[in-house]
Structure 1
């Protein structure tokens, strides 16, 4: 009952505020009163002020999770300690906290300050993909392309660009990038073997998709 009295008092204050602020005449009072009464009636019908407040957590299934192994791999694939390091460390820290927006924004600022560092562009691409829940946005793709342009022979830009393409379902472009990268590596190295395994998996998926698209296929 106390909640209803409070609601009524707030409605009265709102009516006075509107009346003086908007300078409505006698004709305007009727629709204003009707609107406020409908609001109070709705509160009286469905409002439950006696319930204890309870914070609602975000859906865990949609929570964006920072991939520590992927970040470690980025650091180990030719990333050197430089002026870019502080930005990448800060961006990773924000992403670990679930703040993917600021994680990406930090690196947007960093590439503006140093647009010729491929590591920053790779980090930005990864941050944008993480912020997009695994979707390769045009901005993320541009970031990877900048990294590849600046360091065409480095493995990191091509590996992460191919990974982002594959995760977004763009299998053929991912295969093309990874195939060229694999051929540039020495035979028998673990990295080349991993890439060849990934390429074989892509080929299997493409074959399955092609078979499913054929008329009469099961």
Structure 2
């Protein structure tokens, strides 16, 4: 309510000032014609003095007297007919004042309706923080979040062979028989996630952390949080937040945990806390980091909501190169997959929106091949052929990548 009182007072005050100016029709304490008369009379006296001193000739003096006298008569006529208003039409002045008032009031309301938020109540900082704390206190647990937002049971990927599914089933049986087998649990986490069974992958990761106990590291807890979030359709549950906090207590610089912590702050109404977390992570990360593309796409809006002006650093590189993928080959399988997926996500998004040269499309096909996602590699190969259908050189580059990924026809 305070906003409307202040806005109305400012609008009325501004409108009254402009309306008074329109009604008055003059800026001084006397009509303009009265001022003109004094000037013209002074000019007549100056002409007389100059004529007596011989500065101007008699004929020229007479011509000047006639011209100034004509102006005196016109000003006197205007003064007599217009009075204090100097000829300003009262009806037009009043109409102008009403138009000014209507424009200020109606225009202000129309502008606010277009760019403002009608009906949105006052939300001071204290109230926003209180609302955020309430939202955090009411945050769903993991199982409730999965039930409400999760995708549920999903069919295996189209390229999953019967033999592969049988192997995964056998792995489940082995882990059930040997629940303390850490290596088996790691394989099961990756296998379930690859099949899109995020809830099962989350449960296997929880079991692995329980088996490892105090030996579980920041990456273990960060992976658990990530699996929880994916299983809940992107919703950061209270349990996922607890896993993130545990990861950051072990390693305050754990990047995956920092990324999802920023997402937690956004989902609980604190963009002012999310912005510095994401800004620091983006500026400290290599260009191809898995989280870089997602942060870069959102941080401008996050900064605006936090009341901060921010321009993210320009992205470097054009996606995963052959050297990137070769370097990833020697990494731990989980880290390797995470690294490549992050680079692939950024490159795929850029090609989908802005396009790119055939070399970038080839890198994307090759990256999907390395990840074992042949269906995606085949889809990109098909799309790339349609894009570069008339370019023999481009098709040669693309076919080489498709053959390496095992999707060339």
Relative to the length of structure 2, the TM-score reads 0.27
Higher relative contact order (CA 8 A, sep 6+): 1
Relative to the length of structure 1, the TM-score reads 0.46
Larger Rg: 2
